[in-house]
Amino acid sequence: MEQQKQTGQQRSALKQRIKRQALRLGANIVGFASVDRWPQQGEVAEAYWPQSIWPWSRTVIVLGVQIYLPMIETTPSVVYSECYNTTNRLLDDTAYRLANKLNQWGYRAHWFPRDCYGDISVLVKKPEAAFSHVFAGKYAGLGTLGLNHTLITPEYGPRVRLVSVITDADVPADAMQEKDLCIQCKRCVFNCPTHAFTPRNDRLIADMAKARCAGYHQKLKTEFRYPCGVCIAVCPVGADRKRYGMHSVTADGAAHCRDFGSANAVEGRGVPEEAQKIIDTAIR
């Protein structure tokens, strides 16, 4: 679609219109990245650039939804699992509606789903997804990468789920965060139940045994308390910490939530066959 060249004022007005719409639809944070940032930054393989998949891509709009701190501090639990699933549904719904609105305004747009893999079992063999919302969020100015491979944001630390809307709308990109938000406290390293992170001296981001992490998530899935999220639960960064403090749940309360709804697995008994079928075919 050929678009008439817009003035800087018109481009800025369109950006604000899109942002208001995204916030109205349910996003907590919104950022804009030019697709030029993928080749400029040199961090993502070319096959994963938005313009390598859809050549008309011009702007990536990244939407974030918070993960509630009191819920993730019970992880691994059904309580956090429900929070995680709800944020996923909200993200996909918000992105779908925003892309649809852009279509109505005359722009090409679509959304890249928040999880770009079929099932957690796939990540054990090939621990990568089709598109990185983390790097998209970084390029859209929402945050910086942390030691634990997540996007650290000023508002929620790493406790945020992301989705991306790709469009040919020409809008100004947001400035990238200049200062690393990760304070390298290594709480994520010390608390990881699988010891998946190995810090490095030559860079902030740790080496990560991704297959080990994915394998642990497979186990949690059979226990009805997937995913893990410990590495983002313990992170001290984020304005949400000022609201809730470092420990918003009691030890007994966390234990209660971990056992609730997953007693068979917690007590070491096998998952019923019918329940396993549901896990294998329905839960994502």
Model confidence, pTM: 0.88
With a cut of 70, say whether residue 35 has pLDDT above it: yes
In the numeric block, the tokens 């045994």 are attached to 209
Strands 160-167 and 59-66 come out as: antiparallel
- Cα–Cα distance between 145 and 180 in angstroms, integer? 8
Per-residue pLDDT at 264: 44
Tens-digit pLDDT profile for residues 222-255:
888 889 999 999 999 999 999 988 888 888 888 8
With a cut of 50, say whether residue 284 has pLDDT above it: no
**Alpha-carbon separation of residue 278 from 121, 123, 226, 274 (angstroms):** 15, 20, 14, 7
Per-residue pLDDT at 225: 86
Residues 6+ apart with CB under 8 A from 189: 147, 148, 197, 198, 199, 206
The rounded mean pLDDT for the chain is 89
User: Order of strands across the sheet with 160-167?
Assistant: 29-34, 59-66, 160-167, 109-112
Tens-digit pLDDT profile for residues 164-222:
999 999 999 999 999 999 999 999 999 999 999 999 999 999 999 988 888 888 888 88
Tens-digit pLDDT profile for residues 252-281:
888 888 877 664 445 555 555 654 554 455
List of E strands, the chain: 29-34, 59-66, 109-112, 144-145, 151-152, 160-167, 197-198, 207-208
